Amino acid sequence: MVSELIVRLHPTQEYRVDLSRLDPMGNEEARRWLDDQFIALECEPLRASGKVLLADKVLVVAEAAGERLLSDEAWLQAYGRAAQAVLSKPVITVDVAAMAVTY
């Protein structure tokens, strides 16, 4: 079964993780990991209400991580495992340029 994360920073720059070969992350561990990254990277909520949906968190963490962290294989794999755990989808595309997460 295909299990993959794709992060597109720009139309010509993307990062891919084959999640099928990695151990899955538990949901609670994934939420904590994303929360920690959200705080460490000083992310801001996308919505004026301040509410942060899981898909929004996955998106803004990728945006804040940028090329510096996304090029770090260990960080990218942890991010991919966390995104898959909280979104429960086998194939996830995070398009930072378009500010969209698709499954």
pLDDT per residue as tens, the chain (103 positions): 789 999 999 999 999 999 999 999 999 999 999 999 999 999 998 877 777 799 999 999 999 999 999 999 999 999 999 999 999 999 999 999 999 999 9
pTM for the model: 0.94
Annotated domain spans of the chain: 4-102
Q: Compute the chain's Rg from CA coordinates.
A: 12
pLDDT for the residue numbered 101: 97
pLDDT for the residue numbered 48: 75
DSSP per residue, the chain: ---EEEEEEETTEEEEEEGGGSPPPPHHHHHHHHHHHHHHTT---SSTT----HHHHHHHHHHHHHHHHHT-HHHHHHHHHHHHHHH--SEEEEETTTTEEE-
